Amino acid sequence: MRTAISHPALRIVAVLAALDLLACAGGQQERRQEIAQPLQSESESGQTPDGVSTRAKLLFEDAVKAYDSQKKTKIADYSVLEAKFKAAGAEDPKLAEVDYNLGVLAERQGKKDEAISHYQTALKKKPMLKQAAENLAVIAQNDGRVPEAVRAYESILAAYPDDPSARARLAEIYRLGGDHDRAMEMARLALIREPRSLTAYKVMMLSYLDRKQVSMARLVALRALKIDDNDPELYHTIGLILLAENEPAKAQLQFKRATEVRPDYLPSHVMLAKTALAQENYPGAEEHLRRILQANGKNAEAHLDLGIVYKGQGQYDKALQEYDLAEQINPELAAIYLNRGIILHRFKDSPEKGLENYRKYLLLLGGAVALSAEAPVFGLMNEAEQIIQAKADAKRAEEGAKMLELAQKAQQAKMKEAEEREKHEQDLEKKKTEPVETTTRAPAASTPAASTHKAEKPSRSRHAPAKVTQTPPKDEPKDDLEKM
């Protein structure tokens, strides 16, 4: 037998259903390169070794300085930076580093397709620009195109056998695939070639964390911080370590530190949004979710959770709009239908539509057999069905009452009509039985006087004529004299 659930439990279910999905969305680690730095000094010809003009080089250096300045202030104005790099590129189109840096800026803004285009253009201009090839491989890896990413890293290693970064990236793929031994081996090889390889340190940190070796993960993290204390991913990973040690408050501080170091660092915004939602801190969750959607407006999980934020604040129409957006992006996201069903069922007086959404939620999860009998959705479905039944019963009762009322009115009308008809008939009968004269006389044929006096014609007045009682004239002869 399904049982209804209380509102507090319902809020927890709705939040958790979305948090699991949001966590998956935040599982991708951002491992992007920094922008390309200024080129080498010009030769005697006034050009760089790559044949780039001196003016283009100076404009490029100015753009890099602007980037570094914004990085220190933690206030990014991408439009200004893009304009500066484009100016350098316009001065000398051969400057492939311009296209590469524009790709980095586009990626920072969540413009993945634009970033890919810039990286590809950079490689066409300068095939040996391995940073662009590596970033394209990272994008493929994050998109789930792991074989493509592996081939790209291996191509880099074929051209640059001692490249530490490509080895560290391959180590990360092995870690994600559960091959921790090989991941650790590749990370160590990367560190041998480059002792300050943060990517290799991060792989080792996460590998230890995956295997519950929290103390070792913390030790590696502290070493990495000595190399670069402005890397947001390090603070993020330390936050994950603290969560594993059951210290959520300290973990929160690390996630916040990561977003302070780099405001557009999405994985930490995801973790902060998760925590805020779990605590029903809806304004705080909304702030981080908007950051995520600013970087990637096609994030269905973020739209779903923003809908939960609006629902928690009682803004049900806005919540439904977010669920619709999430469905447009990913119609297979089961939690959309659970959360939409709750609003339709409990707050929009539409249990029928709510029930439809609950059924779709179950269908996407594999049917009722895929969930335990205690799953809250069953209680919600039972509650919706009871409301639908109650509404149907109430409608039938209302229709019955209306029919009874109409029948009573019809009966009363018939009774009134019968009374009026009966009264009318009585009036007619009464008129027929009323006497026309007050005295009794013999038939008019036997009296001469009767033939001489004719009744007056009735008046044509619209008013009924007055009744007149005729009295015989005093000089009328008596009948008995004639008999004599």
Residue 47 in 3-state DSSP?
strand
Torsion of CA 51, 52, 53, 57, to 10 degrees: -140
* Residue 179 or 34, more confident: 179
* pLDDT, mean of residues 250-272: 93
The mean per-residue pLDDT over the stretch 151-166 comes to 93
Confidence band of 264 (pLDDT split at 50, 70, 90) = confident
**Neighbouring C-beta atoms of residue 436, cutoff 10 Å:** 9
pLDDT tens digits, 85-100: 999 999 999 999 999 9
Among the listed residues 108, 72, 75, the one whose alpha carbon sits nearest the alpha carbon of residue 266:
108
> What DSSP string describes 324-387?
HHHHHH-TT-HHHHHHHHHHHHHTSS-HHHHHHHHHHHHHHHTSGGGS-TT-HHHHHHHHHHHH
What's the confidence (pLDDT) of residue 114? 94
> Which residue blocks in 109-197 are alpha helix, DSSP H?
112-125, 130-142, 146-159, 164-176, 180-193
Is it the case that residue 481 has pLDDT exceeding 70? Answer: no
- Does residue 463 have a pLDDT over 80? no
d(CA 65, CA 405): 86
Residues with Cβ < 8 Å from 312, sequence gap 6 or more?
11, 280, 282
Query: Is pLDDT at 64 greater than 80 in this prediction?
Result: yes
Query: Which of 43, 150, 44, 57 lies closest to 95 in space, CA to CA?
Result: 57
| pLDDT value, residue 302 | 94
CB contact at 8 A, 232 and 265: yes
Give the residue, 119 or 50, on which the prediction is more confident.
Answer: 119
The residue written with tokens 């929160």 in the block is 252
Q: Three-state DSSP class for 103?
A: helix
- Model confidence at 108, in pLDDT bands (50, 70, 90)? confident
List the beta bridge partners of residue 47. 53
Q: Which contacts (CB < 8 Å, 24+ apart) does range 332-337 have?
A: 332/364, 333/21, 333/300, 333/301, 333/304, 334/17, 334/361, 334/364, 334/365, 335/17, 335/18, 335/21, 335/304, 335/361, 336/300, 336/304, 337/361, 337/364
For residue 454, name the pLDDT band (cuts at 50, 70, 90).
very low
CA-CA distance, 350 to 328, in Å (whole number)? 22
For each of the domains in the chain, give its residue range(s) and CATH number, in order of start. Answer: 1-30+281-420 (1.25.40.10)
CA pair distance 229, 240, nearest whole angstrom: 17
Q: What is the mean pLDDT of the segment spanning 322-344?
A: 96
Residue 310 in this model has a pLDDT that exceeds 90: yes
pLDDT tens digits for range 345-367: 999 999 999 999 999 999 999 99
Tell me how far apart the alpha carbons of residues 436 and 125 are, in angstroms, rounded to a whole number.
130
Give the CA distances from residue 131 to residues 22, 122, 148, 166, 481, in Å, rounded to whole numbers and listed in that order: 30, 10, 16, 10, 156
Residue 375 has pLDDT above 60, yes or no: yes
Residue-level pLDDT at 351: 94
> What is the mean predicted confidence (pLDDT) over 321-333?
96
Distances (CA, A) of 162 to 158, 192, 196: 9, 10, 14
- Residue 465, pLDDT > 80, answer no
User: Phi and psi of 47, rounded to 5°?
Assistant: -125, 160
- pLDDT of 449 reads 45
Q: Which amino acid is it at 151?
A: R
Alpha-carbon span 229 to 219, nearest angstrom: 15
C-alpha span between 128 and 459 (Å, rounded): 127
> Which position has the higher pLDDT, 433 or 121?
121
Residue owning tokens 């934020």: 309
**Quick check: 119 and 96 in contact, CB under 8 A?**
no
- On average, the pLDDT of the chain sits at 83
Tell me which amino acid residue 302 is. Answer: A
Please tell me the least confidently modeled range out of 8-12, 84-88, 326-330, 440-444.
Answer: 8-12
Q: Name the phi and psi angles at 53, rounded to 5.
A: -65, 155
Reading phi first (left if > 0) and then psi (alpha if -120 to 50, else beta), residue 96 is in alpha
Q: What is the DSSP string of 151-175?
A: HHHHHHHHH-TT-HHHHHHHHHHHH
Q: How many CB atoms lie within 10 A of CB 82?
A: 16
Q: pLDDT per residue over 11-55, tens digit each?
A: 444 554 555 545 444 445 454 456 777 655 444 445 555 678 889
Q: Grade residue 436 by pLDDT with cuts at 50, 70 and 90.
A: low
On whether the CB atoms of residues 182 and 213 are closer than 8 A, the answer is: no
What residues form DSSP beta bridges with 53? 47
**Residue in the structure block whose two tokens are 């634009």:** 114
Whole-number percent of the chain with pLDDT over 90: 60
212 within 8 A of 203, measured Cβ to Cβ: no
pLDDT (mean) for 398-425:
88
